[in-house]
Amino acid sequence: MKLFYATLALSLLSLQAFAQDLFPGRGTAFQDEIVPRVDIIIPQASLDEILAPGNEESDFEHEATFIFTDDEEADTVQQIGFRLRGNTSRFSDKKSFKVSFNTFMSQQWKGLEKLNLNGEHNDPTISRAKICTALLKDMRVPAPRANHVALYINDEYRGLYANVEHIDEEFVERRFGNKDGNLYKCLYPADLAYLGEDPEAYKIAPSGRRVYDLITNEDEDDYSDIANFISVLTQTELSDLPCELEAIFNVDTYLRALAFDVLSGNWDGYYNKNNFYLYHNTATGKFEYIPYDLDNTLGIDWLGVDWTMQDIYNWKPGNEDRPLIDRLLQVSDYRARFTYYVEEFMLTIFNASSLFGEFDEMRALLEPFVAQDDFYPLDYGFDLDDFNNGFNSQTDYDHTDYGIKAFVSARRNQAFQQLEDLNPAPYLFEARSNLPSTGQEVSFQVNTQDNGSISEITLCYQTPSTGETCLNMLDNGQLGDGNANDGIYGLFIDAFDEATEITWYITATDNEGASQRHPLCGNFTTEVSIGGLQLAINEYMASNDATISDEADEFDDWVEIHNYSNTSINLGRRYLSDNPDLPTKWAFPDITLEPGTFLLVWADDDEEQGPLHTNFKLDADGEFIGIFDTDASGNILIDGTEFGPQESDVAIGRLPNGTGAFQVVSPTPGASNEPVSASNGIQLQVFNVYPNPTAQQIWVNTPESGSYQANLTDAAGRIVAQYDWTGQEFEINFIGPSGMYFLSIQEEGQTIFTTKVLKK
């Protein structure tokens, strides 16, 4: 197979568009460069009851105190719930525990309601679950975060534990931006087999608990969505399956998850009809597949199977049915795309050069904690040699024939031999347009992935009054498509003079003739609204590392608002939001924008820093940003856009200001947008502005003489002063209140420098 060696972060983007944060950072709770300490303080009588023989299956929560200590500080949470958790681990000597912050009080810790403290008693490395959660992130599959902690109960060291994120409504809201959908915990024997059209049939509970256990919306107890999903999956004619299934299921993420399963040897997931979640994402109407409980991986075996040898295309035991695998891999394009992911993951992630160094660092970090873990040997007799061998080669135990490194090497060798020579059609995802008003250009973008080279991508569109027009999309970095040759294609079309509806789709063909349509069935729709207030999202930067800092010298995300009308516009009682379903998320202060002026707003989730700091951040992985009108107007959208993945310190703005389509521009926060040089990018002269902060006077100096113009604007976008000078140095005196100002310098009509000035 030919492979497309694009940057992995781009080529492995998830289908889920504009999620809140599919892969959130580790934060305090899941930091993995150290081993934090977790203390549980609990009455001894309560602990004795938890550990008493005969109480292994009790879920009764006892009140306790939780203390989390890292290199920075100790956090204490009172009145938490504490109990056993797990399945076989309940009967082990090294127990696993559930921490519930919200049992006795309505509280969270670090945005979490629960934690899973897993003893990992089967795994001599205590690391497979942690490793697999990191692999899933690299493979762009939403999964729990995990790290290691040293657990103490009543000041007694209970050993090294895996701290694994709990999957609940907070988990799905953090990943998908909503939590009102149905979340199902799927446990044995969850094979997704068809049980009829009646939703009640899927409430089966052969072991006293439901196979598809509804975690959210329990009062409604409505299983019609999962019944429909299984019906579509199993009863649809194969020729119609892609159209029908992709409307209700995130197929691409599951193909990645399946590639993870076959490479990591994760047999205790869907292979075993066990241990996965399904979430009905209300933002997309699609089910999301979420794997969990990943300790039986990377060579752990209880079934007498050599998982390095298992057929990657037949991931099920014997002749049992697994419709989610069987039916998807019968679709030629899905089979080819799955093959692509398996090979791509092996070349870029699942290999010695990518993983073995990390394994060595993890082993060295954890070894001192294992050496002191008196509970570590109790279940199987593990010792420190087993811990080290568990990473490198093998142990003497029947269920761990492979050390982790040995498994990775052996599995790669077999999987490469099993790969079929297939050519997947170009994969198109995250198609988007702006949200234009009359008089604004319309822009379209789409992300692409292919194992070879794409020969052509075409956008076809029409309105109720026009026939279909098809135009080529380009990846040249000049059509709102990011950088040239980055796999993102773009196209601009002229503005419409009246409100209308644009229906559109995109097709792609690769050099071997394989083609794809997006969406597979139907069309996308873009509404061109009647132009109201001429107020625009004019420029934004969703990953500001070094371009411009705010009053606190922090490099935060920012959005520039522009009044492109010839009248003043008051922003009071209007809103800015990153969620179209929550238009009133952040209210503008009572500021009036004069005609032609600009306002810089810091999207930093830090309102305490000032009136122009929002209560949300922008997501560099892509999301929505929009201006919404007053409550009296029904909070209608004034202007907005959806954007895809962003690079650091790259500004996206409209050209021309206010009405043009979004594209990469020279960063000019608080000033008129300027195009990036077509040859070498933005060419900025080096200006020295001093003293800054200042009481009144500043000097502007550049090594080269020239003819310059400068605008000094306040934080509300009002022009305070304008200057012209010829030469290298110029003195500026301005009188005004203390605060932040922006100085932009132009030469021959092009902005070549911008900076903030703080007036004492």
Q: How far apart (Å, rounded) are the C-alpha atoms in residues 360 and 391?
A: 8
Domain range 688-759, CATH architecture: Sandwich (2.60)
State what percent of residues in the chain have pLDDT above 90.
Answer: 67
Query: At residue 459, does pLDDT exceed 70?
Result: yes
> What values do phi and psi take at 235, rounded to 5?
-105, -10
Fold adopted by 427-528: Immunoglobulin-like (2.60.40)
Q: For residues 226 and 199, what is the distance between their CA atoms, to the nearest angstrom?
A: 8
Is 383 in contact with 377 (CB distance < 8 Å)? yes
Q: Which of 80-84, 253-257, 349-353, 626-630 has the lowest mean pLDDT?
A: 626-630
488-493 and 442-449 as β-strands: parallel, antiparallel, unpaired? antiparallel
Q: Do domains 427-528 and 535-673 have the same CATH topology?
A: yes
Q: Please give the average per-residue pLDDT across 308-317, as a whole number.
A: 96
What pLDDT sits at residue 566? Answer: 87
Q: How far apart are alpha carbons 46 and 51 in whole angstroms?
A: 9
pLDDT at 72: 82
Domain ranges in the chain are 8-165, 179-348, 427-528, 535-673, 688-759
pLDDT at 19: 41
How many residues are present in the chain?
760
Q: What is the pLDDT of residues 143-156, one digit of tens each?
A: 999 999 999 999 99
Please determine, for residue 419, whether its predicted confidence score (pLDDT) is greater than 90.
yes
The rounded distance, in Å, linking the Cα atoms of 541 and 69 is: 35
Can you give the pLDDT at residue 316? 95
Cα atoms in the Cβ-side hemisphere of radius 13 Å centred on 493: 24
Do the Cβ atoms of 501 and 526 come closer than 8 Å? Answer: yes
Q: Cα 466 vs. chain centroid, distance in angstroms?
A: 38
Alpha carbon distance 687, 63 (integer Å): 62
Angstrom CA distances, 738 to 349, 571, 657, 693, stand at 52, 22, 29, 10
pLDDT grade, residue 684 (50/70/90)?
very low
Mean pLDDT of 671-695: 65
**For range 41-61, the mean pLDDT:** 96
CATH code for the domain defined by 535-673: 2.60.40
- In this prediction, residue 6 carries a pLDDT of 31
Residue 17 has pLDDT above 60, yes or no: no
Q: How far is CA 111 from CA 157, 366, 557, in A?
A: 27, 27, 22
| Rounded mean pLDDT, 678-687 | 45
Q: What pLDDT shows up at residue 680?
A: 32
In this structure, are residues 271 and 297 in contact, taking their beta carbons and an 8 Å threshold? Answer: no
Instruction: Determine the distance from the C-alpha atom of residue 548 to the mean position of all C-alpha atoms in its chain, rounded to a whole number.
Output: 25
Is the N-terminal amide bond of 656 cis, ω within 30° of 0? yes
pLDDT of residue 14: 31
Amino acid at 18: F
- Nearby residues of 75 by Cβ (< 8 Å), 6 or more positions away: 28, 67, 68, 69, 109, 110
Q: Which residue has the higher pLDDT, 368 or 722?
A: 368
Mean pLDDT of all residues in 523-538: 88
Instruction: Kindly write down the DSSP assignment for every residue of 639-701, as one continuous string.
Output: EEEEE----TT-EEEEESTTTSEEEEEE--TTS--EEPPTTTS------EEESSSBSSEEEEE
pLDDT at 7: 28
Separation CA 475–CA 645 (nearest Å): 15
Any idea which residue has 């922003």 for tokens?
Answer: 571
Q: What pLDDT is stored for residue 628 in this prediction? A: 93
Average pLDDT over residues 120-137: 96
pLDDT in tens, 465-484: 999 999 999 998 888 887 78
What global pTM score does this model have?
0.79
Q: What is the pLDDT of residue 699?
A: 82
